[in-house]
């Protein structure tokens, strides 16, 4: 039986909703070879959006080729280059002979060895001489440009969790090398995406950073409530169950339109629904979700010192003026310099986001857990 609503993996096909404007903008960037940068807090839908936009872009521009690379589990510069070479080869051809030709012709200096899995041209591992890769990666960096020029193609290199390159040894040198090579490209563009806080602080911190102002920067927002109502109602209907607009809105509101949590909560509601989903079911599913994550939230809170926890208590009490004397006294926040430090630290842990003067808690379920289970605020 089809189970609607997904979370923790890419939202594709029927599980993907909205983002029309962002898709349009990305497809246009891809086609014109404009670099894009996408930033958001965790789990707001960056990877799903890029995947979706790429799928649509290739339909309208047959010469586009996409490579998807995730920097998250890479340990070093060499690993980055080897993965890059593998993915570019994969995107360049789907015949074993052509792949071998490309590897030998364009990566010869690294003594390439391709091992195919069960003679499947789409699945292979590429072994390169790592010492040579490290000493002289330029030919790997030139790979898309050469293939594109030979075959009349355009390459888009999509690099997910890009902030992770900041953990490589000599990362600034590495970033400078990438930027210097990439800015000369004629047939290749980039789509870099990752965690907003870390990208802004580790990759684009100031104008001295190599990737500062690298491309068209897109800050992903949550998906609108109206869109969630439409989506949730449709997915219930598709699977022969029903939900009223009002109840669908209740799901979106409890999850504060956070894409991951709306999907997770909607799925929990769907499981509990026989025919028709009620507000009672939603409340029950929401409580269940809070309980499910409780251990994780206990340990997350255990890592915070007293004044950080007090700050969150004040925030959940609706406090806005944290530096007022009364507030600092009542919540034991110390001095106003300490308040600034607390805000910065909670922001770096991605518990809160500072939006102008507004302070937003990023995880709506953690917020509910703190309120109902930890502080017991009515």
Ligand X SMILES: Nc1ncnc2c1ncn2[C@@H]1O[C@H](COP(=O)(O)OP(=O)(O)OP(=O)(O)O)[C@@H](O)[C@H]1O
**Residue 7 C-beta: closest distance to ligand X, Å:** 4
Q: By CB under 6 A, name the one of 35, 48, 144, 166 that touches ligand X.
A: 48
Residues 24-43 that bind ligand X (CB under 6 A): 40, 42-43
Q: Which is nearer to ligand X, 7 or 116 (CB)?
A: 7
Distance CA 227, CA 79 (A): 40
> Both tokens of residue 79?
């690993």
Distance CA 15, CA 6 (A): 7
> Both tokens of residue 305?
């010192």
**Residue 49 C-beta: closest distance to ligand X, Å:** 6
Does residue 331 bind ligand X (CB under 6 A)?
Answer: no
Does residue 47 bind Mg ion (CB under 5 A)?
Answer: yes
Q: Which is nearer to ligand X, 8 or 356 (CB)?
A: 8
Q: Which residues contact 41 (CB under 8 A, 6 or more apart)?
A: 195, 196, 197, 350, 353, 362
Does residue 198 bind Mg ion (CB under 5 A)?
Answer: no
Distance CA 69, CA 89 (A): 13
Does residue 73 bind ligand X (CB under 6 A)?
Answer: no
Pairing status of strand 358-361 against strand 352-355: antiparallel
**Of ligand X, Mg ion, none, which one does residue 44 interact with (CB within 5 to 8 Å by kind)?**
ligand X
**Residue 192 C-beta: closest distance to ligand X, Å:** 13
Q: Which is nearer to ligand X, 52 or 154 (CB)?
A: 52
Binding mask 197-236 for ligand X (x = CB under 6 A): ----------------------------------------
Q: Which is nearer to Mg ion, 66 or 250 (CB)?
A: 66
Q: Which is nearer to ligand X, 4 or 210 (CB)?
A: 4
**Residue 195 C-beta: closest distance to Mg ion, Å:** 9
**Residue 206, helix vs strand vs coil:** coil
Which pairs with CB-CB distance under 8 Å and at least 24 residues apart come from 359-367? 359/315, 361/312, 361/315, 361/316, 362/41, 362/42, 363/258, 363/261, 364/254, 364/255, 364/256, 364/258, 364/261, 365/255, 365/261, 365/289, 365/290, 365/293, 366/293, 366/297, 366/300, 367/256, 367/316
**Residue 257 C-beta: closest distance to Mg ion, Å:** 18
Question: Contact positions toward Mg ion, by CB under 5 A?
Answer: 46-47
């Amino acid at each position: 039986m089809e189970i609607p609503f997904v979370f923790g993996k890419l939202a594709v096909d029927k599980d993907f909703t909205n983002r029309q404007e962002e898709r349009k903008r990305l497809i246009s960037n891809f086609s014109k070879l404009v670099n894009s940068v996408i930033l958001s807090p965790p789990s707001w839908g960056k990877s799903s959006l890029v995947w979706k936009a790429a799928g649509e872009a290739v339909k309208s521009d047959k010469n586009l080729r996409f490579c998807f690379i995730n920097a998250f589990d890479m340990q070093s510069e060499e690993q980055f280059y080897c993965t890059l070479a593998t993915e570019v080869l994969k995107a360049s051809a789907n015949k074993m002979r052509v792949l071998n030709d490309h590897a030998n012709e364009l990566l010869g200096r690294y003594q390439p060895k391709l091992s195919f899995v069960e003679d499947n041209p789409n699945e292979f591992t590429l072994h390169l001489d790592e010492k040579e890769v490290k000493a002289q990666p330029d030919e790997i960096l030139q790979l898309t440009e050469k293939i594109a020029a030979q075959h009349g193609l355009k390459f888009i290199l999509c690099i997910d969790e890009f902030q992770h390159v900041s953990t490589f040894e000599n990362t600034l040198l590495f970033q400078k090398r990438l930027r210097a090579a990439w800015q000369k490209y004629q047939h290749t563009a980039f789509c870099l995406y990752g965690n907003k806080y870390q990208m802004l602080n580790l990759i684009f911190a100031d104008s001295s950073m190599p990737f500062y102002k690298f491309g068209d920067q897109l800050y992903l927002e949550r998906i609108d409530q109206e869109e969630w109502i439409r989506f949730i109602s449709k997915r219930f209907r598709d699977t022969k169950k029903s939900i009223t607009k009002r109840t669908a809105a209740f799901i979106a509101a409890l999850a504060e339109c956070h894409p991951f949590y709306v999907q997770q909560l909607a799925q929990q509601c769907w499981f509990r629904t026989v025919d028709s989903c009620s507000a009672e079911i939603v409340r029950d599913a929401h409580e269940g979700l809070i309980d499910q994550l409780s251990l994780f939230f206990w340990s997350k809170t255990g890592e915070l010192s007293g004044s950080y926890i007090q700050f969150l208590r004040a925030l959940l009490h609706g406090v806005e003026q944290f530096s007022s004397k009364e507030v600092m006294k009542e919540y034991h926040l110390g001095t106003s310099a300490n308040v600034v430090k607390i805000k910065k630290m909670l922001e770096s842990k991605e518990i809160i986001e500072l939006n102008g003067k507004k302070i937003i808690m990023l995880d709506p379920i953690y917020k509910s857990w703190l309120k109902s289970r930890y502080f017991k605020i009515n």
